[in-house]
Amino acid sequence: MRYEGDIYSPHIAGDDYVLQCTIGCSHNQCTFCYMYKNKQYRVRALPEILTDINLAKAAYGDVKKVFLADGDAISMPAKDLLTILDYLYASFPGLSYVGTYASAGSVLNKSPAELRDLQQHGLTEAHLGVESGDEQILYAIRKGVSYAQMVQAGRLLKQADIHLFVTAILGLAGKPDKSVDHAKHTARICNEIQPDYLGLLTILVQAGTPIYKQVQAGGFIVPDDPAILAEMRLLLQGLELEHCGFTSIHPSNCISLEGWLPEDKDRLLQTLADIIDNRDWSRLRRRATEKV
């Protein structure tokens, strides 16, 4: 397949066919994000994208799942996305999933009717990086939106019936005394959005990112595993989700937990309590320190 630069898709969608619709990220400002720093954002020409679909059909036959890359494919004009979705479903009769990353700013640039159209033409899932519910942290990491705008973006996707996968990042506070606020406010924003799925990651500091420079200068402190676990526990305690998948299965995390909320909340908290209260760090695994 034809790809420009490094390609990322959610860990959970690792076996999908990835179709590059945009190059880079339309925002590309988040201080922790290493994925597209060396790419100049642009929307690929529609004929190129449709040709890629033809190439994928010739190479793979039918595919069931497609992920639209790069960082923020929902930033494309809605009419082009509709053309791509229609072409994908016409090309792959077994297709049942089309997902995309969706930055909050790009979601807010779409009307509710456009988002609904995208859903009706088969955009099944959006991955929204909420990262934190703390207003100061959102500002510090240059997320580009406020707490209220993030909530609005999440709710717009939900109202359009697009399955909403939200991610938040543990350890993003940068200072030990901000960890409690980060955890509590992140739980609060998740409660307001009510995502269908919540994935927790842990901050990964990569060379070349603004946050790397902050770490070098002593302005950002990366928490150790016990502090990350305490933050995870506080966040989980604060979640009041009506029906939401939960996962911390990601190489950046020191522990892999999975379940459904609210049903599995007590079990998940008990697992964390067993480790934290007994200081049983042997049950943790080494966090990834490289790009994942």
The tokens describing 53, both together, are 């679909």
Q: According to CB under 6 A, which one of 9, 27, 195, 248 is a site residue for ligand SF4?
A: 27
When asked if residue 71 is in the footprint of ligand SF4 (CB under 6 A), the reply is yes
Closer to ligand SF4 by CB, 30 or 56: give it: 30
CB of 200 to ligand SF4, least distance (A): 15
Burial class (CB in 10 A: 0-12, 13-18, 19+), 243: exposed
DSSP state letter for 286: P
Main-chain dihedrals φ then ψ at residue 25, nearest 5 degrees: -125, 140
Q: Under a CB-based contact definition with an 8 Å cutoff, are residues 95 and 64 in contact?
A: yes
Q: Under a CB-based contact definition with an 8 Å cutoff, are residues 288 and 252 in contact?
A: yes
When asked if residue 22 is in the footprint of ligand SF4 (CB under 6 A), the reply is no
Q: Under a CB-based contact definition with an 8 Å cutoff, are residues 66 and 97 in contact?
A: yes
| Choices 30-38, 81-89, 90-98, 201-209 (CB under 6 A): range interacting with ligand SF4 | 30-38
Q: According to CB under 6 A, which one of 33, 162, 236, 254 is a site residue for ligand SF4?
A: 33
- Please give the distance of CA 117 from its chain centroid, rounded to a whole number: 22
Q: Under a CB-based contact definition with an 8 Å cutoff, are residues 174 and 219 in contact?
A: yes
Q: Under a CB-based contact definition with an 8 Å cutoff, are residues 214 and 31 in contact?
A: yes
Q: According to CB under 6 A, which one of 21, 25, 88, 254 is a site residue for ligand SF4?
A: 25
Q: According to CB under 6 A, which one of 56, 110, 119, 129 is a site residue for ligand SF4?
A: 129
**By rule CB under 6 A, what string of x and - marks binding of each residue 35-54 to ligand SF4?**
xx------------------
Closer to ligand SF4 by CB, 119 or 132: give it: 132
Give the count of residues interacting with ligand SF4 (CB under 6 A).
12
Q: Under a CB-based contact definition with an 8 Å cutoff, are residues 275 and 225 in contact?
A: no
Which residues, 90 to 109, sit near ligand SF4 by CB under 6 A? 103
Beta bridge partners of 128: 166
Q: According to CB under 6 A, which one of 20, 22, 28, 119 is a site residue for ligand SF4?
A: 28
Closer to ligand SF4 by CB, 74 or 234: give it: 74
CB of 138 to ligand SF4, least distance (A): 11
Instruction: For residue 151, give every residue at least 6 positions away whose Cβ sits within 8 Å of its Cβ, in sequence order, or none.
Output: 189, 192, 193
Q: Under a CB-based contact definition with an 8 Å cutoff, are residues 10 and 164 in contact?
A: no
**By rule CB under 6 A, what string of x and - marks binding of each residue 244-283 to ligand SF4?**
----------------------------------------
Instruction: Tell me which residues touch ligand SF4 (CB under 6 A).
Output: 25, 27-30, 33, 35-36, 71-72, 103, 129
